[in-house]
Amino acid sequence: MNRHLKPIVWGWLLITFFLTPGFWPGPARLSAQNVNLGVSLADGKLLGFYFSISKYFNVPSETVIDLRNRYRQRLADEDLPVIFLIARQARVEPAVVINLRLGGLSWWDISIHFGLSPEIFFAPVRMTRIGPPYGQAYGYYRKYHGQKNWGKVVLSDDDIVNLVNLKFISEVHEIGPERVMKMRASGQRFVDIHDTIQMEKAKGRGGQPGEQKSKPDKRGKGKNK
């Protein structure tokens, strides 16, 4: 297939896939009549990323795409999972989180503002030695896990974006977070990591042989963990 046609074909396949009646239970389901994608069909990677956010956080796809389009110049694609995670845990609308962010607060400050535990950002991993960009954050996690007070620990914006996207991608695709960590350590963007894993699943491979699957967190929405 012509390499210029591949993104367009993938875009149409994703639209067809996600518009299939009954695919999404509840609010994540798309309607051909009321959804305005506002995203080029040629960019199947982004569409897949947005639809997975919709699925994982159980929010309408229209909401995800509308927020991305509205704040395209001020927020990155990889900020979206952070916004929806904090909003879910704090039981507020995503727009509330966005306004705090655009007002100059760090992701850490926003989580503190809502009284959230840093543990909400972490996915359990079995690796004993964890390198960049996750090593320092998981060092804190292993030291303070289960404690109410994390001392003087402050996670940077990069730390939180890396942690939340790791948690989101590994849980929405039910794969071991260790693989996502390795892909991120090689310098790949999370949108590309998500696309690679999604394409593998679409082809029936569903990840690497012998890979440990992680179970999505089902302990309830909006609860501090």
**Does residue 218 lie within any of the structural domains?**
no
Q: Could you give the residue ranges of the DSSP H alpha helices within 103-220?
A: 107-113, 135-144, 157-172, 177-185, 190-202
Instruction: Let me know: does 178 contact 126? Beta carbons within 8 Å.
Output: yes
Of 78, 99, 31, 98, the closest CA to residue 191 belongs to: 78
**Does residue 64 lie within any of the structural domains?**
yes
**Does residue 222 lie within any of the structural domains?**
no
Domain that holds residue 101: 41-203
**Does residue 6 lie within any of the structural domains?**
no
How many structural domains compose the chain? 1
Output the pLDDT for position 204. 77
**Does residue 212 lie within any of the structural domains?**
no
Please give the mean pLDDT across all residues of the chain. 81
pTM: 0.75
pLDDT tens-digit readout, 70-107: 999 999 999 999 999 999 999 999 999 999 999 999 99
**Does residue 35 lie within any of the structural domains?**
no
Output the pLDDT for position 205. 57
| Total residue length of the chain | 225
Q: Has residue 43 got a pLDDT over 80?
A: no
**Does residue 178 lie within any of the structural domains?**
yes
**Does residue 56 lie within any of the structural domains?**
yes
